[in-house]
Amino acid sequence: MKKDKFLTVFASFDLQSQNKLKKLQNEILKLGWQGTQTMDIPFHISLGSFPVDMADELIERIKKVCLSQKKFDIFLGEIGDFSDKVLFIQPIVNENLLEIQKEFQGNYADGYPWHAHTTIFCGNENEVRNAKEKLSEIFKPIVAEVQFLELGEFFPTKMIYKGELNKK
């Protein structure tokens, strides 16, 4: 069961990849659905979710990881869905992502095991199936650079902190 309010730490991508993902999402939205996905945050891979009272601790952890870890590329190569309700692009998980994710293990929000993904669209089963079909027609794999670690509060959405990983 999803908690009403929680924090999420996520790894977000370079501007070029953000633009490519936004273009894909816009093609789906042209089908006429708004979806329930959060629209006012960057495309990302969630690393973990936590209670709201952990904000200060998480900011310090993000700062520490940003100093010790370098920016890295990740291959966004497959389309997937969660129970025909969430449409996503799945990365090929690499050592860099696993290294950062282990610093933020935790799933306070809904209790599901961690599954690396970048959400593109959320909706009902019919919408997601049709959106998946459209995405399958236009999707080409993306090599994205993970540049930032961010902390956001949900719901309502509020960005709290953004840290930049070291240069490559």
What is the mean predicted confidence (pLDDT) over 107-134?
94
The torsion angles phi and psi of 99, rounded to 5 degrees, stand at: -60, -45
**pLDDT (0 to 100) of residue 34:** 87
Q: Quote the mean pLDDT of the chain.
A: 95
Predicted confidence (pLDDT) per residue in 59-78, tens digit? 999 999 999 999 999 999 99
Provide the 8-state DSSP code for 85: T
Q: What SS3 state is found at 7?
A: strand
Q: What's this model's pTM, rounded to 2 decimal places?
A: 0.94
Predicted confidence (pLDDT) per residue in 100-110, tens digit? 999 999 888 88
**pLDDT (0 to 100) of residue 168:** 66
Q: Are 135 and 87 in contact (CB under 8 A)?
A: yes
Domains present along the chain, CATH in parentheses? 6-164 (3.90.1140.10)
CA angle in degrees (0–180, nearest 5) for 130-80-26 = 50
CA distance 129 to 39: 20
pLDDT at 1 over 60: no
